[in-house]
Amino acid sequence: MGQAVAVEARNAVKEFGAGPSAVRALNDVSVSILEGEFFTLLGPSGCGKTTLLRLIAGFEMPSSGTILLNGQDISYLPPNKRPVNTVFQSYALFPHLTVAENIGFGLQMQGRPKSEVTATVKRMLELVKLEPLANRKSSQLSGGQQQRVALARALAPSPKVLLLDEPLSALDLKLRKEMQIELKRLQLETGITFIFVTHDQEEALTMSDRIGVMSAGKLQQVGSPRDIYNKPVNRFVASFIGETNFLPASRKGSSLVLAGGHSVDAPAGGTDGQHVTITVRPEQVRLVDSAESGAIPAKVTSLVYFGTDTHCYMALADGTEIIARLQSPATGEAGLAQGQNVALRFAPGSVQVLGD
Half-sphere exposure (CA, 13 Å, Cβ side) for 293? 1
- pLDDT, residue 334, reads 56
Half-sphere exposure (CA, 13 Å, Cβ side) for 181? 5
- pLDDT, residue 356, reads 59
Residues linked to residue 251 through DSSP beta bridges, in sequence order: 256
CATH class assigned to 5-237: alpha beta
Q: Are 208 and 225 in contact (CB under 8 A)?
A: yes
- pLDDT, residue 98, reads 92
Which H/E stretch holds residue 280? strand 275-280
Burial of 224: CB neighbours in 10 Å, binned 0-12, 13-18, 19+: middle
- pLDDT, residue 331, reads 47
Residues of the chain scoring pLDDT < 50 = 1, 331, 333
**C-alpha dihedral, 153 to 157 to 162 to 164, nearest 10°:** -20
Query: Sheet holding 161-165: strands in order across?
Result: 84-87, 161-165, 193-198, 38-42, 210-215, 218-223
Strand 309-316 with 296-305, pairing: antiparallel
What CA–CA distances, in Å, run from 150 to 40, 89, 118, 206, 258?
Answer: 19, 10, 17, 21, 52
- pLDDT, residue 329, reads 61
Query: Sheet holding 72-73: strands in order across?
Result: 23-34, 5-16, 64-69, 72-73
Query: Sheet holding 285-288: strands in order across?
Result: 285-288, 341-346, 296-305, 309-316, 321-327
Look up the pTM and report it: 0.87
For 163-294, where are the alpha helices, taking DSSP H only? 173-190, 201-207, 225-230, 235-240
225: helix, coil or strand? Answer: helix
In the chain, where are the structural domains located?
A: 5-237, 246-353
Q: Are 58 and 79 in contact (CB under 8 A)?
A: yes
> Which residue spans within 37-155 are E strands per DSSP?
38-42, 64-69, 72-73, 84-87
What CA–CA distances, in Å, run from 96 to 92, 137, 138, 301?
Answer: 12, 6, 7, 58
Domain covering 246-353 in this structure, CATH number: 2.40.50.100
Which H/E stretch holds residue 215? strand 210-215
5-237 and 246-353 share one CATH topology?
Answer: no
**Length reported for the chain:** 356
Phi/psi at 138 (nearest 5 deg)?
A: -65, -25
